Amino acid sequence: MNDQPVKNDRREFIQDGLRVAGLVTLGAAGGFLVGRQGEAEETVWQLDPNKCIACKNCATHCVLDESAVKCVQFFDMCGYCDICTGYFDPNYRELNTAAENQMCPTGAIRRTFIEEKAGQKFFEYTIDADACVGCGKCVKGCALMNGSFYLQVSHDRCLNCNECAIAVSCPTQAFDRLPANRPYRLKSPALALLKRKVKHPSHQDARDLLSQVYDP
């Protein structure tokens, strides 16, 4: 399968404001959150991406057959790299989207050509939440570069168990409970970027996301 160019250039993707692939997943939790507005005493499970080491337990210890933990992408931290260490297996054969070249065991990352500038190619990487199993292989790989991939509990899937089986098994104790009306976390650099964006009137998408993000 070959990468197909798209008309939009990389600058449009970057300047259009905060674009988080995981926002689709976060938005799906709308129904979950609406019934909990103003009920600060209600809490949900979430993991702290600043503590997460992508140990793979999220993929195997959830009580659900398909883990409620999914990878999300924070585009403002992404380098749109040609050789993405979160996408390509370290032993890749060619720089294309063939399955044998991909880090993700389920092919949940979509690689789309954006533009070529000064001889350098730029690609967008997005997450297919339905295909993602929460193994964190891409997160560990991406940590070698910009670290724009990270794991989060998806609340349109999570059963909010009294005792989370993944939390019990987490080697870094990255799981705790957050207010149900702010059930998501960002890495510290991502949160700082988001806060800077909300100061500009044009970035309503950033304000919408910040309204769902826990800020300790």
Q: What is the pLDDT of residues 115-149, one digit of tens each?
A: 999 999 999 999 999 999 999 999 999 999 999 99
Question: How many helices, marked H, and strands, marked E, lie in the chain?
Answer: 8, 6
CB atoms within 10 A of CB 194: 21
User: In terms of DSSP bridges, do strands 69-73 and 149-153 run parallel, antiparallel, or are they unpaired?
Assistant: antiparallel
- Burial of 39 (C-beta count, 10 Å sphere; 0-12/13-18/19+): exposed
CB atoms within 10 A of CB 104: 22
Q: What is the pLDDT of residues 96-110, one digit of tens each?
A: 999 999 999 999 999
Q: Which residues of 135-162 are buried (b: 16+ CB within 10 A; e: fewer)?
A: bbbbbbbbbebbbbbbbbbbbebbebee
Q: Which residues of 68-88 are buried (b: 16+ CB within 10 A; e: fewer)?
A: bbbbbbbbbbbebbeebbbbb
Q: For residue 79, is pLDDT > 60?
A: yes
**pLDDT above 90 as % of the chain:** 75
Phi, psi dihedrals of residue 10, rounded to the nearest 5°: -65, -35
Mean per-residue pLDDT over the chain, rounded = 86
